[in-house]
A and B are shown apart, each in its own frame.
Chain A
Amino acid sequence: MSLNLTYNNVNKYFNKGTASEVHALKEVSFTIKPGELFCLLGPSGCGKTTLLRSTAGLESISDGKILYGDTDMTTIPPYRRNIGMVFQSFALYPHMNIFENVAYGLRVRKISENIVKKKVTDVMELVGLTEELKRNPSPMGLSGGQQQRVAIARALVYDPDILLLDEPLANLDAKLRRYMRAEIRRIQKATNITTIFVTHDQEEAMAIGDRLAVLQLGAVKQIGSADELYSHPESAFVSNFIGKMNFFKVDRKNKNTVKLNKTNIEFAINPEKDHSEGAETLLLGARPEQITISSKKSDKSIQGKVGIIQHLGQFVRYEVKVDSTFSDNNLEIDMPFMVKDALEGDTVFIDLKEDLVSLYADGEISNE
């Protein structure tokens, strides 16, 4: 039986009242549904690990409540919360063999020996380490991927209410990481334990999570499925953190129209894609595939110069520099084919797919 995990106006300050005070979590409120695989995503220092450790009870929160069902977890010490956690370093015990590592939580609970054996065997089968369990070596002799599986088995074996994963893939190499994230999703779906997965890698989060929460500077910016976040980002930060977004400086002309900075080029904005919320300085956002390149000028095109061109298989990526009155950064434009007369160093004209672009308030944009 699983219950909702609810964060209620959670605040966390480090070094409160001193000069080095940090407001690490700001009014965090959301609910994770039973059996959900939920990702906390954000750049380093955004508070995602603090939120995870607060859920575990390893950090105490300054203000607010964390509820499991109707039970307030805030004052319960971590060892009575019945939570499983996989650490970034795996934290396997070097002085125990892998059986004892996995059995640790069962031993704490004074479970009888034959049940311990059965549960450890079952969970090791689930994570695919049946052969290794027969040899039962020290965890230090295992490969990174195997250590990862032992750490997951150890966290799952005592049927925790919630499973926490703190950047569990960060210590693995790129190929193994892709394989293990599929494994983690398979294991999570097999056990159906409510799971929180912390990562700074948006591709990983989108691949693995049922839902994602994007955090920035301690505040939750947006929560939704990978598709919702990619297709309907509600802030400039999220739009450029989940995928790539090119930004253009624009001024508002009227309710549904904006003008490119210091020009008369006008763009109509779909009201559903207007996330500016009445802000003064505005940014027009267009994803790389929402811009086209041409060697010919049209009435709404912006002039630019091609930087480097990368052939990436299914598309060609152009880096284009436009005047800084229009955009501070080089534009990234994906075309399905090579454009004629647009070689590196050439002058080109770009056009926006007007019906797809979005409008945002100027804010802090992640460059990761």
Chain B
Amino acid sequence: MNKNIFSKISDKWREITTPNFDNPELRKKKDFSRFIVYIIPAAFLCIFLFYPLFTTLIRAFMSASKGKYDFSTLGFAGFTKLFKSGMFIKSLRNSFVVSISVTFLTILIGVPMGYFVARVDIPGKKMIKSLGLLPIIMPAFIGAFSWIILLGNQGSLRLLLSKIGIGVPSIYGISGIIFVMTMVYYPFVFLLAEGAFGSANAQLEDSAMLMGASRGRILRTITLPLIVPSIGAAALLVFIRSIGNFGIPSILGKDQYVLPTLIYFKINGFWDLNGASSIALVNVSITAIVLYLQKKIISRHDYETVSAARTEIKQSDNKVVKIIATVFCWLVLIISLLPQITIIVMSFFTEWTGPLPTGFTFGNYSMIHSNSSREFFNSIYLSVVATILAAVLGSLIAYVTGRIKPKGGAILDMAIMAPFILPGTVVSVALISSFGTLIGGTYTIIIISFIIRRTPYVYRSVSASLTQMNPSLEEASTIAGGNWFYTFKKVTVPIILPGIISGSLLTFTTLLQELSTTILLYSAKTRTVPVQIYGAVVDGALGQASALSVILLIIVFILVYVSNNSNKANISAGLKLS
């Protein structure tokens, strides 16, 4: 009986999906299957993105205490209070100081480094590029606590340096936050600048040289102006990341707050959802304004370089330049990778407060099985489920906006990319305010937050594959008799699969280390590894934190290695904003 129903359904399905060239009735039937793909992403975005953001927006204007959802308190009272609060003003100033300084410093380091690697004949270029990727794929807060080991009040490196007469300020405070963030985020600028310098049209520079321009003049008038858009994109990425970063300022800030840590403080300390929403709105507004300014400035400098044949770019082999370039690149790399080395060492010791670590032990690792099994299960379970769902969602939306091109496709594009600029804590606040009573403390709320945060990665990656794919490939299938579904299955998906995979891998690796969202959403049951590491750092159990971090690093490293080897270009596509 059941079998009959199934075979009937599958017959019907076959009838719908296979073209019939003889039946004149069927020939005229319309193909509706592609419209189904609109509904899934639209529904998801409405329920889990628009609605929570809307709730947060409303809450931002409520001044009821204890985070009550009370329409009678709507108004600007909350904001007036906020802008009179010394703590908020200080956090706002700190956020500005940190993100602007980090943006400038990363450009100062990343652009020359990109130029050196692309244009100067220095040894170990491939190695520099691979190692340069490490700081951004590693969890930022791990960098923060290992810098405590090195440059904290009792930091080993600090003690060593003071012995030879160099006084280094403690890593705690705003300057420490700026330093650590710069070391974590400079690779964005470096990698994008390197790409831009490396792929520039050499003929443009050759022609300037033939017209008599000196090297310096070419750099100033041709090379640099042409890579302004790339630098601008990288700077924006750094700004958004640093203004939304929670881990580094929460570990190094002590009594200095920035906006994301203040949001955490408001919720964790007072359950003040309305106050947190107001701060979140301020935080997002700043990002939005910067994004707008960047687009405006960059659009004036965006050039299509027209060239048919690409020629190899000549590399400088001037001895002095070579030495400067090599020293500069390796110095930056070593400093930015010190944290990784530090935590590996630290994970085998109980304490490291003097120049050398003391108390060699394997205990930090042997403890993991009994203390962290649930956390590892949670991290992997949450990341896997969220990655799969984000992959499906991101690919579908990329397909809809890139191929079907519906009216309002630009809105869909903006909606899906919005979480890219939303700080993790803001996403959490939005979800708690909307669904906190329903699914607070469950796996579901974390999975939803993960999907919202990371779908842009898959979306960008798949969009990039789709733009590279000539639409006539799909048209050829249609002409040959394949309907929409057949074409999608046999042609579109196989060709964009590398894009889906690399976007998913990037999503998965970042989710494994996600802290800023989870920190507000976890419960005892759903605690993840990064949350446990954070807790251990706060408790001063640096050995345990290091061992957990090392395991996390190894997993992340393997995944990135695999995806990098399978498809290098697309990882960066997923990271790009536009």
Contact = CB atoms under 8 A, between A and B. Distances in A.
B21 A82 contact: yes
Contacts of B473: 91, 93
A108 interface: yes
Contacts of B490: 104, 107
B75 interface: no
Contacts of B18: 108-110
Interface in A149-176: 154-155, 158, 164
B206 interface: no
Given A105-B480, A109-B481, A91 B28 contact: no
A186 to B, nearest CB: 23
Interface string A71-114: 10001111111111101110101110000000011011110000
B486 interface: yes
A308 interface: no
B30 interface: yes
A359 interface: no
Nearest to A108: B481
Given A77-B483, A85-B479, A108 B494 contact: no
Contacts of B30: 77
Interface centre among B472, B476, B478 (most CB of A within 10 A): B476
A109 B473 CA distance: 18
A360 B504 CA distance: 65
B407 interface: no
Given A77-B30, A91-B470, A108 B480 contact: yes
Contact of B481 (A58, A82, A91, A164): A82
Contacts of A83: 479
Nearest to A95: B494
B481 A89 contact: no
B172 to A, nearest CB: 54
A56 interface: yes
Contacts of A91: 470, 472-473, 475-476
A80 B472 contact: no
Contacts of B491: 93
A111 to B, nearest CB: 11
A78 B478 contact: yes
A81 B480 CA distance: 9
B406 to A, nearest CB: 16
Nearest to A164: B479
Interface string A46-70: 0000000000111000000000000
A164 B480 CA distance: 12
A104 B487 CA distance: 10
Nearest to B20: A80
Nearest to A161: B21
A77 to B, nearest CB: 6
Contacts of B31: 77, 79
Interface in B443-477: 470, 472-473, 475-477
Interface string A127-155: 00000000000000000000000000011
B19 interface: yes
Contacts of B470: 89, 91
B27 A80 contact: yes
Nearest to B484: A79
A154 B28 contact: no
A131 B51 CA distance: 61
A56 B30 CA distance: 16
A125 B495 CA distance: 28
A56 to B, nearest CB: 6
A108 B19 contact: yes
Contact of A80 (B21, B475, B476): B21
Contacts of A105: 480-481
A258 B28 CA distance: 57
Interface string B409-453: 000000000000000000000000000000000000000000000
A164 B476 CA distance: 11
Given A80-B27, A89-B472, A95 B479 contact: no
A274 to B, nearest CB: 45
Interface string B482-501: 11001100110011000000
Interface string B278-317: 0000000000000000000000000000000000000000
B472 to A, nearest CB: 4
A58 B28 contact: no
Given A80-B21, A164-B479, 4 more contacts: A79-B478, A91-B470, A107-B490, A154-B480
18 contacts: A57-B478, A71-B24, A76-B27, A79-B31, A79-B483, A80-B26, A80-B27, A84-B480, A87-B472, A91-B473, A104-B490, A108-B477, A109-B21, A154-B476, A154-B480, A155-B479, A155-B480, A164-B479
Interface of A: 56-58, 71, 75-85, 87-89, 91, 93-95, 104-105, 107-110, 154-155, 158, 164
Report the 6 A-B pairs with minimum CB-CB distance, sorted nearest first: A105-B480, A91-B472, A91-B476, A108-B481, A87-B472, A85-B479
